[in-house]
Structures are given as C-alpha cells and as structure tokens.
Amino acid sequence: MDFLFEGFLEGLNMVFQGNPAVYNAAWITLRVSFGATLIASLIGLPLGYFLASTSFPGKGFCTIVLQTLLGFPTVVIGLLVYGFLSRRGPFGFADLLFTPSGIVIGLVVLAFPIVTMFTMTAVSGIDPRAREMALTLGASPRRAAWTLFLEVRFGLISALLASFGRVASEVGIAIMLGGNIEGYTRTLTTAIALESMKGEFGFGIALGLVLLVLVFFTALLSRYVQKL
Amino acid sequence: MNQATFFLSILFFFCLSSPPWAQERLKLATTTSTANSGLLDHLHPFFEKEAGIRVHAIAVGTGKALKLAQNGDVDVVLVHARQAEEAFVKAGHGVNRKEVMYNDFVIVGPVTDPSGISGSENVIQALRTIAAQKSLWYSRGDDSGTHKKEMSLWQETGLKPGSGWYQAIGQGMGKTLLAADEKKAYTLSDRGTYIALSTENRIELKILHEGDTRLFNPYGVIAVNPKKHPHVKFELAMKYIDFLTSPKGQSLIGSFRMNGKILFHPHLGD
C-alpha cells in the first residue's frame, strides 16, 4: 500500500509544484485535441446533418461504416495514417510525420465519426417537418440547416465535448504519429506510457491526474450543457 | 459570421502552426536505452547550442529505428546491433557509420537464482541451464538490438526455446525488467537500463552472469543515405555524427553518470 500511497503523494506534489514536463505535456495535449476536434467538427457536423436529413440509397451502409469507425482501435488508425504520412507514403513530401500536425490528422480520423454520429442522432431527433416548414417559409437550405442546428445546439456541443475527451485520452495515434518527442509531440498519454516504462510510478500518476482533471472538466461541461 | 470565421482562423493558427521562431530540427531515431537513461538529455544541449538546431529524438527499438531510417522518416540513427547496422549500410540505406560507445549485456534474474546460473563458465552455458531447468525467461520479442542479441545467443546454444517457460513479452527494456522483477523471471538486459532501474530500487533483480565477450554491446551512429532520400538533412546528420565522435562528444559520454555509475563507455576510451 505504501507504494501506491507514495506514488500518489509524489504525483500530487509534482502537479502543485508546477513540474514543467507535466504542464508542457498538458499544453501539447490541449493544442492537438483542440485542433483535431475543430477539424473533425468541420467534417462531422455537415456530414451528420446530411445523413440525418436526406435519404439516399446506401445510407444504411454509410451509417454502418461510421459505426465501425467508432470502434476502430487507435493503433490501427495510427498505423494506417503512418503509411500515408511516411516518406514512402503518398503524403510523405509534406513532412508531417513526427509533428503535432501529424498527430492532429490521426486524431481527426478518430474524432470525425464521433461528431458525425452524435450530430446525426441529434438532428434525427427533431420532427422532420421542422425542416420542411423552414423551407416552405422561404428559408434557403443553408438557412434551414442553421435553424435546425440552433434547435439541437446542446446535442452538438455534447458531440464536440465527447470527441475532445476521446482524442485527449487516446495514446496509440499520438505515439505512432508524434514519436513522443520531448517538448514537441509528447502528450499526457504518451508521457504516461514512457514514464511507466521507466518505472517512474509517481511521475506517471502526476500526468494521469492532470489528464483526469482535463477529461473531468470536459464531462462536467457536457453535463452542464445538457441541463440547460 | 465574419467574427466566427476570424475566431476559427485564430484557433487554427493556435493549434496547427509552428511558432515563427521554430528552429531547424534533426530527427534522430534511437533506442530506448539511450533515450530513457537520460544520456541524450546530457549530450544534446551542447550540440544544439553549438549547431543552433533542435534534435528530436524518437525512441524505439533498434529494428524499428532502422526501419524508420530506411523509409526516410528520420535523418540519422543511433542504435546497437552491429550486424543489422552493417547490413543496413550495405543495402545502401545509410552512410558514414561510426562507432560511438559501448557497454555490455548482462543476464539478470531473481536474487535467489533458482536455476543456479551464477557460476556458469559462459553465457551459453548459463542459457542452457535456464532452459534445462525450465525457469521463467522473458524475451523482449520486439526486434530491438537486445532482442537480436538474445536470438543470436539462443541460436548458439543450439536449443529452440519455447513452450511455457520462455515468454516473449513484446515490451521495451524498462518494462521487461519491471515485468521480470514482478514475476521472478530471468532476462537479458543492457547494463545501462539495468543500472538506471536498479540504483533507484525500482527492481530487485540481480546480475547473475556478465563478462562474456559475446555480451559486448557497441552502439553505432549512421546517417541516412541522401542518394536514397534527397530530403534528409544530411549535412546536419554529419554534423551530429562528428559531434558524437569528437573528443568533446566522447568525453561528454564518458562523464555521464547515473548515481555514480558509468552507463556508456566512449569508443575512444574513458
């Protein structure tokens, strides 16, 4: 028990004394997670809306594909995106491997199905006549979409928060595409993986605590939004 | 809407751009033994100051490091598997291979030494004893330099390890030592990582066999061949190699201590 207790004490100590390595990793995590959620929402919100408001042959198949992507292991995403970003891959020329942008690309692949599915569910929940009504009243399709989005805004915010929580806490993509470079692509999760490898239990716990707080506030915000 | 666009662009900039003062970077693929021991943190500040660049170290096993170099994803490698390194250069993937430093491998195991290998004449005999007693043995199983060495040693015993007592755990050296400590297993470790973990009392494993010339563990540095990958920062890579092999770099390696112990011996001598 001493071992556990001391680890926690050491961890808390590091957090409150402002250990630079801990906060550096937290800052990098925030940056890539924000970036990925932002881009994922630019894809996922329109796509989710489109899937919910139109019917076309193959729609069921699209939904199943998205559902599958939701359950995709992050190491597989990391591996696939590595193939694209490696110098031998089609986008090697852009030199994105082992950069924060490389991580963001992988995280977008992880996050956009989450945003899409949440959006689809939220928009499907509205009476379909609402959109027709808006169109009949002379709204442009774009305007009608905006109206519906406002109607389900809390659902959409939950979508963004859920995807943020997911990308901030994953490790496979960040380590494969970022390379865990100190002060550059070392996120909270990859730092934890490294410290546990070095047997630095306390340091790992400190990083874990910061991540926990981050995800906790995301969940809290999500809960607050849903209650509005 | 314009405001929103403005806000989005700011966010984009914040998340994706690298700061304008970002320095040029040299990508180094290396092994966990050099990165996790703190050696690179000891060496790189000097080089970075001298050359005015940043060295970005990606710590993986030797096999993966060479693969990254072969794909042109890094500029230079610092690894430990002489045969694989020579094959790498011969295949034209790398140039200007230089010896940098060395330490040695050791066989570690539980303090009680259940197989009784501590008096073994050489490492081959020690491994044969472990196999005969079917004592638990953890293998890295990750194509790292240490794993390659272990495979060549088993090959020399003429035995085919397997079935129950021999387990490939697919982890880095640190994790493998921690796991061997938990489960009272024997394993092969580089001395550096073993010292790093044992001096801080994270593991109770003891060195049970050492000193065999087969256990020599030299580290080499290789630049990625610019003819194969024109985009690599060849000049910086050469600068880095020159630094490691210079009297200054060598003395820095020799001065690196962990709790008073030398982890790596410079190639030019201590």
Q: What is the pLDDT of residues A133-145, one digit of tens each?
A: 888 988 898 898 8
Task: Please state the rounded mean pLDDT for residues B167-184.
Answer: 92
Task: Please state the rounded mean pLDDT for residues B87-95.
Answer: 97
Q: What's the token pair of residue A70?
A: 């939701």
For chains A and B, what is the number of CB pairs under 8 angstroms? 69
B59/A88 touch (CB, cutoff 8 Å), yes or no? no
B18 is a domain residue: no
Contacts of A194 in chain B (CB under 8 A): 36, 59
B1 is a domain residue: no
Pair (B115, B190) in one structural domain: yes
Task: Please state the rounded mean pLDDT for residues A58-73.
Answer: 93
Provide the pLDDT for residue B18.
54
Domain boundary among B215, B230, B248: B215
B178 is a domain residue: yes
Chain A residue with the nearest C-alpha to that of B173 = A197
**Cβ atoms of B28 and B78 closer than 8 Å:** yes
B36/A197 touch (CB, cutoff 8 Å), yes or no? yes
Q: Which of A219, A203, A168 is nearest to A189 (CA)?
A: A168
Contacts of B14 in chain A (CB under 8 A): 31, 34
* B11 Cβ contact partners less than 8 Å away, ≥ 6 residues apart: A34, A35, A38
A14 is a domain residue: no
Q: Which of A9, A21, A3, A66 is nearest to A190 (CA)?
A: A21
Q: Is the pLDDT of residue A14 over 90?
A: no
Chain B residue with the nearest C-alpha to that of A83 = B71
Pair (B89, B132) in one structural domain: no
- A17 band by pLDDT with thresholds 50, 70 and 90: confident
Q: Which of B97, B103, B37, B45 is nearest to B66 (CA)?
A: B97
Which residue type, as a one-letter code, is found at position B48? E
Q: Is the pLDDT of residue B154 over 80?
A: yes
Pair (B154, B192) in one structural domain: yes
Chain A residue with the nearest C-alpha to that of B11 = A35
Q: What's the token pair of residue A173?
A: 């993509």
pTM here is 0.87
Return d(Cα B269, Cα B185) in angstroms, integer: 34
Contacts of A197 in chain B (CB under 8 A): 32, 36, 171-172, 174-175
A193 is a domain residue: yes
Q: How far is CA B51 from CA A88, B46, B109, B169, B247, in A?
A: 29, 9, 43, 40, 16
- B12 band by pLDDT with thresholds 50, 70 and 90: low
A9 is a domain residue: no
The domain in which residue B238 lies consists of 24-103+218-266
Burial grade of B207 (CB within 10 A; 0-12, 13-18, 19 or more): middle
Q: Is the pLDDT of residue A108 over 80?
A: yes
A38/B32 touch (CB, cutoff 8 Å), yes or no? no
Q: Is the pLDDT of residue A190 over 90?
A: yes
**Which stretches of chain B sit within 8 Å of chain A by CB?**
8, 11-12, 14-16, 18, 27, 32, 36, 54, 56-59, 71-74, 171-172, 174-175, 177-178, 196-197, 200, 202-203, 229, 231
Pair (B206, B228) in one structural domain: no
Shortest Cα distance, chain A CAs vs residue B212, angstroms: 27
Pair (B112, B206) in one structural domain: yes
A83 is a domain residue: yes
Task: Please state the rounded mean pLDDT for residues B51-58.
Answer: 95
Q: Is the pLDDT of residue B16 over 70?
A: no
- B131 band by pLDDT with thresholds 50, 70 and 90: very high
Q: Is the pLDDT of residue A101 over 90?
A: yes
Pair (B184, B120) in one structural domain: yes
Provide the pLDDT for residue B14.
57
Contacts of A87 in chain B (CB under 8 A): 71-73, 229, 231
DSSP state of B75: S
Provide the pLDDT for residue B20.
44
Compute CA A118 distance to the chain's CA centroid, rounded to the nearest angstrom. 13
Number of domains in chain A: 1
Task: Please state the rounded mean pLDDT for residues B165-176.
Answer: 91
Q: Is the pLDDT of residue A99 over 50?
A: yes
A87 is a domain residue: yes
Q: Which of B147, B141, B161 is nearest to B190 (CA)?
A: B147
The domain in which residue A100 lies consists of 19-227
A183 is a domain residue: yes
* B17 Cβ contact partners less than 8 Å away, ≥ 6 residues apart: none
Task: Please state the rounded mean pLDDT for residues B162-168.
Answer: 87
Residue from B54, B73, B233 to probe the interface with A (highest A Cβ count within 10 Å) = B73
Q: What's the token pair of residue B227?
A: 């003819």
Which residue type, as a one-letter code, is found at position B267? H
Return d(Cα A216, Cα A205) in angstroms, integer: 16
Pair (B186, B58) in one structural domain: no
Residue from A98, A197, A200, A201 to probe the interface with B (highest B Cβ count within 10 Å) = A197
Average pLDDT over chain B reads: 90
- B17 band by pLDDT with thresholds 50, 70 and 90: low
ipTM of the complex: 0.81
B130 is a domain residue: yes
Task: Please state the rounded mean pLDDT for residues A115-129.
Answer: 91
Of B14, B175, B200, the CB nearest to A197: B175
Number of domains in chain B: 2
Q: Is the pLDDT of residue A1 over 80?
A: no
Q: What percent of chain B has pLDDT over 70?
A: 91
Question: For residue A115, what is the domain's CATH number?
Answer: 1.10.3720.10
Provide the pLDDT for residue A224.
86
Q: Is the pLDDT of residue B229 over 90?
A: yes
Q: Which of A139-153, A203-217, B9-23 has the lowest mean pLDDT?
A: B9-23
- B163 band by pLDDT with thresholds 50, 70 and 90: confident
Pair (B36, B61) in one structural domain: yes
Task: Please state the rounded mean pLDDT for residues B193-221.
Answer: 92
Return d(Cα A164, Cα A36) in angstroms, integer: 8
Pair (B202, B113) in one structural domain: yes
A52 is a domain residue: yes
Q: What digits encode the pLDDT tens for the residues A80-92?
A: 999 999 999 999 9
Contacts of B177 in chain A (CB under 8 A): 199
**Cβ atoms of A36 and A167 closer than 8 Å:** yes
Contacts of B203 in chain A (CB under 8 A): 199
Return d(Cα A213, Cα A216) in angstroms, integer: 5
**Any idea how long chain A is?**
228
Pair (B172, B42) in one structural domain: no
Bridge partners of B209? B107
Return d(Cα A142, Cα A155) in angstroms, integer: 19
Q: What's the token pair of residue A38?
A: 């932002």
Question: For residue B138, what is the domain's CATH number?
Answer: 3.40.190.10
B253 is a domain residue: yes
Contacts of A101 in chain B (CB under 8 A): 16
Q: Is the pLDDT of residue B10 over 70?
A: no
Return d(Cα A196, Cα A199) in angstroms, integer: 5
Provide the pLDDT for residue B87.
96
B54 is a domain residue: yes
